[in-house]
């Protein structure tokens, strides 16, 4: 799961309206994190775990499960 896929999921659900906001609020990183990832845009496992915990705490359970699947098996759902 790359940063673009994460943003698409969050934007479709109305949870984020910008990459900067997504990085700050849902990835727990600096606002410019998405532009520093390189061409593949794959966040670190630490960032994905932060995202999972945030989504779970906010009760976005299906999206949290998709992130967990990505962390465990390295594939996007």
- pLDDT per residue rounded down to tens, the chain (77 residues): 899 999 999 999 999 999 999 999 999 999 999 999 888 888 998 999 999 999 999 999 999 999 999 888 877 65
Beta-carbon contacts of 23 under 8 Å, excluding residues fewer than 6 positions away, are 29, 30, 31, 32, 33, 34
Q: What distance in Å separates the CA atoms of residue 19 and residue 59, rounded to the nearest whole number? A: 21
- pLDDT reported for residue 1: 85
For residue 45, which of 65, 19, 73 has the smallest C-alpha distance? Answer: 73
For the chain, the first-to-last Cα distance in angstroms comes to 8
- pLDDT reported for residue 41: 87
The whole-model pTM stands at: 0.89
Count of helix runs (H) and strand runs (E) in the chain = 4, 0
- pLDDT reported for residue 70: 86
């Amino acid at each position: 799961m790359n940063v673009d896929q994460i943003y698409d999921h969050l934007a479709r659900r109305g949870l984020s309206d910008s990459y900067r906001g997504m990085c700050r609020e849902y990835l727990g990183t600096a606002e410019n994190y998405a532009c520093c990832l390189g061409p593949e845009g794959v966040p670190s496992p630490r960032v994905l775990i932060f995202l999972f915990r945030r989504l779970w705490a906010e009760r976005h359970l299906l999206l949290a499960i998709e992130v967990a699947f990505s962390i465990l098996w390295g594939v996007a759902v």
